[in-house]
Amino acid sequence: MSNNLMEAMANSMTGMKAQSRRLEVVSENLSNADTPGYKRKLLSFTTALTNAGAASNDIGAKLSYDLSPGERLYDPAHPMADAEGFVTMSNVSFVTELADMREANRSYEANLNSFKQAHSMYKSLIDLLRR
């Protein structure tokens, strides 16, 4: 029984690590939203399987870039302007990033609550075994 509780806590911790990484990427995107030419970072997760066929506690995060074009503004005086006088801005959308941030935050909280519940059950089991 305790092994299952420890696995539940380990899985919750893995989920919290993954959501923390998502929040880091969202923060980087938001902080570079006004940087000309910046490409939005995307994070995708995969589940790694161990030799026994069980899911491992590795978050398996893969970082990639959103290749959609950013807005082009006419500003021939800008140092990053092209030959036609246009500057390509970042492709970061504040609305999308804030939605991603909210989702990551809620997922983190769900994993934290799961961890707390498993920890409480583990603690209760230890207390019962001490009697």
Structure confidence by residue, pLDDT tens digits, 14-40 = 999 999 999 999 999 999 999 999 999
Split into its structural domains, the chain has a count of 1
Per-residue pLDDT, 1: 46
Question: What confidence tier does 57 reach under pLDDT thresholds 50, 70, 90?
Answer: low
- Per the structure block, which two tokens stand in for 13? 């911790």
Residue with tokens 């990053």: 80
Asked whether residue 92 carries a pLDDT value surpassing 90, the answer given is: yes
Judge contact between 32 and 94, C-beta under 8 A. Answer: no
Q: What percent of the chain has pLDDT over 90?
A: 66
CA distance linking residue 99 with residue 22, whole number of Å: 12
| Residue range(s) defining the domain that contains residue 18 | 2-130
CB-count exposure of residue 63 (10 Å: 0-12, 13-18, 19+): exposed
Which of 99, 78, 96, 98 is CA-nearest to residue 87? Answer: 78
pLDDT at 96: 95
Residues pairing with 86 in the sheet: 74
